Structures are given as structure tokens and as C-alpha cells.
Amino acid sequence: MEYVIETQDLTKVFGNFTAVDKLNIKIKQGEIFGFLGPNGAGKSTAIKMLTGILEPTAGGGKILGYDLRTDSERIKENIGYMSQKFSLYSDLTVLENLKFYAGIYNIPYKLRKKRIEELLSLAQLEGKEGLLVSHLSSGWKQRLALGCAIMARPSLLFLDEPTSGVSPTIRRLFFNIIQELSQAGTTILVTTHFMDEAERCHKIAFLKGGKLLADDTPARLKSQVLDGILVEVESPGINNIKKIEDLAYVKECTIHGALLHIVLANKGYISSLENDTGLKPVEITPSLEDVFLALSKGREEER
């Protein structure tokens, strides 16, 4: 089995609305594969098909070697899934939740204590065993939900926006855990809206309107997406931005906080820009945000 996940034209139609449109992805063992895209892009719907929860309208695929259409029960038994609205029992304690899920996943009694200790340590929840879930902060709840999702040590894990509503520090910690799992061989498909998290994925798929617009490593996406070079200048104020946009050799111009990112056809135009504006352009490597801005924009113009 070369790929842990492999789909062919996977499609979901609700009524006359196509939520996922001919999705083709391949994911290798141990990869952290990021799903990015605006709300409504079809990320959760795609995940529900990949986990065997939702039947595809057309197309298909293999998950861990099992056919999506005929073997969905096998798939459900062999994966971990943390949905966007994960369910913990808020009137139970941390330990009671873990014990409950150990039961759900049929972890042999002999192994339960050890497994729960491992998960408490991995999720950095030691000392919190006796706390009611309703008393936990969102970051702790999220790590407990992850602990429950990987109770049975699945080799394939789906995490749907696991870090929304969590502080940046806790998000980083959570991604450290994801990386640890990946290094141990677990394949992880994770949806996120955060560029720092996208940077930490081995590969990224960008979805919009149900369509896959890009699928590559963060580095390759950054090197390929721009048709030209990217420079940065301190933002010269809104009126001057308009003038810069109107320069014939400026292909693109986007505001990033106090900075302006400008796409030029080639390096030769850096000095033209400097002469025409009096600004000091510095060539920079595109960020993933630049990539996704360009991708979204480019595709809209093509329509």
C-alpha cells in the first residue's frame, strides 16, 4: 500500500449544491497533511467521506487499503477522528472521560491503566485527572479530546479544526504533539486556518468552493505560485498605495499590517519601484498567506 489515503474524483452533492468537487489526493504514511480553505470550502465534508461517515455521491478512494464505498465499517474501526464539535462528557472528570473512551474502543482491561497514563502524559494533562471537564479551559479540553481520539493508537488520524478557539501558545503545544505522533509513524490529516500551522505540515491542500486549488509542500507552493518576485515596503498610506497599484510593472499589491507586499515581474523592476516611489523595496520569500491570497485571487479571475 503506497498511500494511506488515495481518492479518485471524490464528490459530494447536497441537493443541487456540490460541496466537494472531484477531489484527488494522495497521502503517504507518517505525513501531516493540512487541509486549508475558507469556511464552506468543503473540508469537513471531505473528511466525513474519508472517515466513512458520509457516502460519496460520485468517485471513491481507498483509506488504509479499504474501499471507501464498500468497507466504511473497517475504516471507522481503524482511524481516529476528532470532529469540529468533538464530544467530551462535561459532567465527567478527565479520567472518567478517558476510561469511557477506553471502553468504547475495547481496550483490553490489562492495558487500560497504562494507556491512559501514556495519554495523560502525551496531552500534558497529568495532575488534571480529577477535574470535571466543564471546569477545563478550551486548550485542555482540546488535548483531552485528542487523547480520546487516539485511545486505540490509530495509524491514521483526522483532526477537524482542532485548534480553533485556542491560544497561540496552546496551539503550538498541540502541534508539537501532532509532530510527535507523525514521527512515530501516524498519518495525520488536519484542517486549520492558521498559517503557522500550515507551515508545519508536510503537505498542504488548499480547497475553495469544493475544488482543490493546490496540493504540495509549503516550500514548493511558495516557490511556484508567484508569477514574478515579491518585495516588501513600509506602507506609504492609502493614497500612495493606489499610485503604486497603477504602475505598469506592479502585478499585485497587498497590505500586510504596516507593510505592503508587491509582486513585480522580475528583479529589474526593484530599482524602478525605488526611483518611482522613493520607497526602499526589499525582496522577500513569499509566506503561505501570500500564496493563498494569490491562489484565491487567480482562480476568481479565471472564472
Binding region for ligand ADP (CB under 6 A) = 14, 19, 37, 39-45
Collect all residues with Cβ–Cβ distance below 8 Å to 251 and sequence separation of at least 6: 227, 228, 263, 264, 265
Shortest CB 48 distance to ligand ADP, Å? 8
Shortest CB 272 distance to Mg ion, Å? 44
Collect all residues with Cβ–Cβ distance below 8 Å to 223 and sequence separation of at least 6: none
Toward ligand ADP, which CB reaches closer, 43 or 115?
Answer: 43
Report what 72 binds from Mg ion, ligand ADP, none; CB cut-off 5-8 Å by kind.
Answer: none
Collect all residues with Cβ–Cβ distance below 8 Å to 11 and sequence separation of at least 6: 18, 20, 21, 22, 23, 56, 57, 58, 59
Shortest CB 94 distance to Mg ion, Å? 26
CB-based closest residue to Mg ion: 44
Report what 19 binds from Mg ion, ligand ADP, none; CB cut-off 5-8 Å by kind.
Answer: ligand ADP
Toward ligand ADP, which CB reaches closer, 27 or 264?
Answer: 27
Toward ligand ADP, which CB reaches closer, 40 or 268?
Answer: 40
Shortest CB 35 distance to ligand ADP, Å? 8
* Residue in 270, 259, 231, 262 with CA at minimum distance from that of residue 246: 262
Toward Mg ion, which CB reaches closer, 198 or 230?
Answer: 198
The binding site for Mg ion (CB under 5 A) comprises: 43-44
Distance (Å) of CA 133 to CA 88, 111, 151, 226: 8, 24, 17, 46
- As a whole number of Å, the CA-based R_g of the chain is 23
Report what 182 binds from Mg ion, ligand ADP, none; CB cut-off 5-8 Å by kind.
Answer: none
C-alpha–C-alpha distance, residues 21 and 87, integer Å: 29
Shortest CB 4 distance to ligand ADP, Å? 21
Toward ligand ADP, which CB reaches closer, 16 or 239?
Answer: 16
Shortest CB 84 distance to Mg ion, Å? 5
Report what 55 binds from ligand ADP, Mg ion, none; CB cut-off 5-8 Å by kind.
Answer: none
Q: Name the β-bridge partners of 12.
A: 20
Toward Mg ion, which CB reaches closer, 38 or 168?
Answer: 38
- Residue matched to cell numbers 487567480: 298
Distance (Å) of CA 34 to CA 15, 47, 202, 229, 239: 28, 12, 8, 26, 38
Shortest CB 160 distance to Mg ion, Å? 6
Q: How many residues does the chain have?
A: 303
Toward ligand ADP, which CB reaches closer, 101 or 158?
Answer: 158
Q: How far apart are the first and last CA of the chain?
A: 38
